[in-house]
Amino acid sequence: TSYPSIVGEMLASGFGIIGFSWICSPACTELEVVVMDWLAKFLKLPEHFQHASDGPGGGVIQGSASEAVLVAVLAAREQAVISCKETHPELSESEVRGKLIAYSSDQSNSCIEKAGVLAAMPIKLLPADDDLILRGNTLRKAIEDDVAAGLIPVICIATLGTTGTCAYDDIDSLADVCQALNVWLHVDAAYAGGGFALEECTELRRGLDRVDSLNFNLHKFMLVNFDCSAMWLKDANKVVDSFNVDRIYLKHKHEGQSQIPDFRHWQIPLGRRFRALKVWITFRTLGAEGLRSHVRKHIALAQQFEAFVRNDSRFEMVAPQALGLVCFRPRGDNEHTAQLLQRL
């Protein structure tokens, strides 16, 4: 975290804004629109994720990666139900819902599996290849088998930067399958998203122009204190239309204008905190270059630590060093690793 972010957090608490719609606090909504577009540019995301683009895309700040994933899973589920009711009028809604199925890798974070539990939709954890990467051929085979068994594929959640080893799923080959079979593709880049900002990590962003949604935790790599999880959608209407529940007391006369979203439709709770303030203050104080050097510093530290491991015969690497993560273990019995962990 950083002092600028903590100041932003204190100010937001002091203002006491509960910005569920634009009218509650125009600054709360509009600053979020501004910082999410800044961030999209900073991370060099495809232009369609910006609010300022011509299309229906945009970004929103969620509390956690778990919430962002759940929002994507729920929206994909509702969109699948709508389209299946059109293509299969003979099926009742409960029959359709009973056939839905989602996919991720066995290396994905626990929050993916939990999203499936909360969304009442099974998520198959497909085996990653030996390098712990999920690729399109595994996904295609699983989907084809499931379709043959009468199931309806809804969403695949890929990971850029897995929790275990910071492995990067092959977004390009997964997108080939998802686009061909009309499956929503979400990318969980909770940790590794910080790498998108660096020229030398351009490879990480390959295929992102073909994903429907993605999330990145600013509280992991961007010096912003917990909680602050950025989420972008290629077509925000798919989320808004899925979650839109209105009451007379929520209406205001500026509703529906493209530049003033009511973010309550993009998330699970009604009320929302003024998180954009801490992002804005952090960016204004440290600057884009300051944040890039912070990420670079962590990568350099990891490389230095990797060299320590490689030069010490007591230890070995378990996976290649990736961004700030070095997976290593004492050689020999796994018990040594358990003991070291305990002592640490």
* Listed residue (211, 230, 258, 301) closest to 42, CA to CA: 230
Q: Does 123 contact ligand PLP by CB under 6 A?
A: no
Site string for ligand PLP, 24-43 (x = CB under 6 A): --------------------
CA dihedral 135→189→34→279, nearest 10 degrees, is -170
Buried b vs exposed e over 64-88: b needs ≥16 C-beta within 10 Å? bbbbbbbbbbbbbbbbbbeebeeee
**Choice from 1, 53, 137, 163 touching ligand PLP (CB under 6 A):** 163
Q: How far is the CB of 190 from ligand PLP (least distance, A)?
A: 4
Q: Does 190 contact ligand PLP by CB under 6 A?
A: yes
CA distance readout (Å), 17 to 23, 90, 328: 11, 48, 45
**Choice from 15, 42, 56, 64 touching ligand PLP (CB under 6 A):** 64
Q: Is 109 a catalytic residue?
A: yes
Give the gyration radius of the chain's Cα atoms. 21
Q: Are 39 and 61 in contact (CB under 8 A)?
A: no
The residue (of 57 and 161) whose beta carbon lies closer to ligand PLP is: 161
**Choice from 25, 159, 213, 267 touching ligand PLP (CB under 6 A):** 159
* Listed residue (200, 132, 135) closest to 166, CA to CA: 132
Q: Does 1 contact ligand PLP by CB under 6 A?
A: no
For ligand PLP (CB under 6 A), the number of binding residues is 13
List the structure tokens of 56. 């229906």
The residue (of 5 and 25) whose beta carbon lies closer to ligand PLP is: 5
Q: How far is the CB of 298 from ligand PLP (least distance, A)?
A: 15
Q: Are strands 315-317 and 328-330 parallel, antiparallel or unpaired?
A: antiparallel
* Listed residue (135, 130, 180, 129) closest to 158, CA to CA: 135
The residue (of 21 and 229) whose beta carbon lies closer to ligand PLP is: 229
The residue (of 84 and 126) whose beta carbon lies closer to ligand PLP is: 126
Contact residues toward ligand PLP (CB under 6 A) are 64-66, 109, 111, 159, 161, 163, 188, 190-191, 217, 229
Active site residues: 109
